[in-house]
């Protein structure tokens, strides 16, 4: 197995890759709802060094990430899968991708399609499904299909799925690493200036892109732990709901009926 991608390497390579990122994304139209520039630069800095031949994306919506990936990796095939074929986003994405010869846009549920599609060495970006479902999809692919790396969007600091990742997957790292936010969040602002983040502070920044590099870890065990953590999180959510309903529905302590 090749050396796994790590945060230190991404931070070290980023300054050299920034001008290329800026050159390739200059002039592209931007959809505010999509993955942020600093997050897509994070993906670029992580994988540009080995020039992936295919990038498989799950969750296209209005194709912000698809368009940027297509421009960043002109020599790669970008295969984008979207489950909602009836959304108004479909026409917007089709129009934005009209001239992109390296993009294949498909419809379907990635949880069914990706296992048959992903091959060893691919890079995968999951921006739908979300949370634990996304992490389980990532771990399942790393276990069997062996992509070089899987990126999962919306794993923001403090979410239950992110807590699981931080606790159980030491090789995973995310775009809210303080050094990354400090150096590259300016890419997300039209002014080119980032807010003054307090030095050394842990920041919940944006939706957050997490990278799961291929390693020799036991993904079967990770998957079991992930399913367990998801089950516990569901139980806690349901218990909280139940408590709220009980308190709300409780009859008054004392009712005079005659
Ligand atoms: C946040 S949007 C994607 C935004 C897009 N990546 C961008 O940067 O512009 C999430 C999309 O994922 C799609 N989605 C959710 N679950 C999915 C699944 N299982 N397979 C494929 N797409 C899915 C949703 O329909 C939605 O359009």
pLDDT (tens digit per residue) in 2-52: 788 999 999 999 999 999 999 999 999 998 889 999 999 999 999 999 999
- pLDDT at position 42 is 98
pLDDT (tens digit per residue) in 205-256: 887 999 999 999 999 999 999 999 999 999 998 888 777 655 555 554 544 4
Angle between helices 131-144 and 219-249 (to 10 degrees): 170
- pLDDT at position 241 is 76
Please give the order of strands across the beta sheet that includes 77-82: 103-107, 77-82, 54-58, 123-126, 149-153, 209-213, 173-174
Q: Which residues contact 185 (CB under 8 A, 6 or more apart)?
A: 38, 194, 195, 197, 205, 206
* pLDDT tier at 257, thresholds 50, 70, 90: very low
pLDDT (tens digit per residue) in 136-159: 999 999 999 999 999 999 999 999
Domain range 7-249, CATH class:
alpha beta
Ligand 1 midpoint to CA 193 (Å): 29
pTM of the model: 0.92
Residues within a 6 A CB radius of ligand 1: 31, 34-35, 58-65, 81-84, 89, 109-111, 127-129
The pick from 39, 68, 112, 128 for probing ligand 1's pocket by mutation, whose C-beta has the most ligand atoms within 8 angstroms, reads 128
Q: What is the mean pLDDT of the chain?
A: 92
Length of the chain: 258
Q: What are the boundaries of each domain within the chain? A: 7-249
Helix extents (H) in the chain: 7-25, 37-47, 64-72, 89-96, 110-117, 131-144, 160-168, 178-184, 219-249
pLDDT (tens digit per residue) in 176-198: 999 999 999 999 988 888 877 77
Could you give the percent of the chain with pLDDT greater than 70?
93
Residue nearest to atom 27 of ligand 1 (CA): 61
DSSP 69-83: HHHH-TTSEEEEEES
- pLDDT at position 258 is 41
With beta carbons less than 8 A apart as the criterion, state whether 105 and 175 touch.
Answer: no
Q: Give 142's DSSP letter.
A: H
- CA gap 38, 64 in Å, rounded: 13
Three-class DSSP labels, 195-249: CCCCCCCCCCCCCCEEEEECCCCCHHHHHHHHHHHHHHHHHHHHHHHHHHHHHHH
């Amino acid at each position: 197995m090749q050396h796994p991608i790590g945060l230190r390497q991404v931070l070290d390579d980023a300054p050299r890759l920034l001008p290329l990122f800026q050159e390739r994304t200059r002039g592209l139209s931007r959809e505010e709802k999509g993955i942020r520039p600093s997050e897509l630069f994070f993906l670029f800095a992580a994988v540009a060094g080995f020039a992936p031949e295919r990038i498989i994306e799950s969750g296209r919506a209005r194709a912000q990430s698809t368009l940027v990936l297509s421009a960043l990796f002109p020599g790669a095939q970008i295969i984008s899968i979207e489950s909602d074929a009836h959304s108004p986003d479909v026409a917007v994405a089709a129009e934005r991708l009209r001239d992109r010869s390296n993009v294949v846009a498909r419809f379907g549920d990635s949880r069914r399609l990706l296992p048959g599609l992903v091959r060893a060495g691919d890079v995968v970006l999951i921006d739908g499904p979300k949370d634990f479902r996304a992490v389980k999809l990532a771990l399942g692919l790393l276990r069997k299909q062996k992509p070089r790396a899987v990126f999962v969007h919306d794993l923001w600091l403090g979410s239950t799925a992110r807590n699981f990742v931080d606790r159980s997957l030491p090789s995973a790292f995310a775009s809210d690493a303080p050094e990354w936010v400090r150096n590259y969040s300016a890419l997300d602002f039209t002014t080119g200036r980032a807010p003054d983040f307090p030095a050394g502070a842990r920041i919940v920044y944006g939706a957050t892109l997490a990278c799961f590099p291929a390693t020799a870890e036991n993904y079967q065990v990770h998957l079991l732990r992930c399913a367990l953590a998801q089950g516990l999180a569901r139980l806690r959510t349901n218990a909280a709901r139940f408590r709220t309903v009980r308190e709300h529905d409780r009859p008054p302590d004392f009712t005079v009926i005659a």
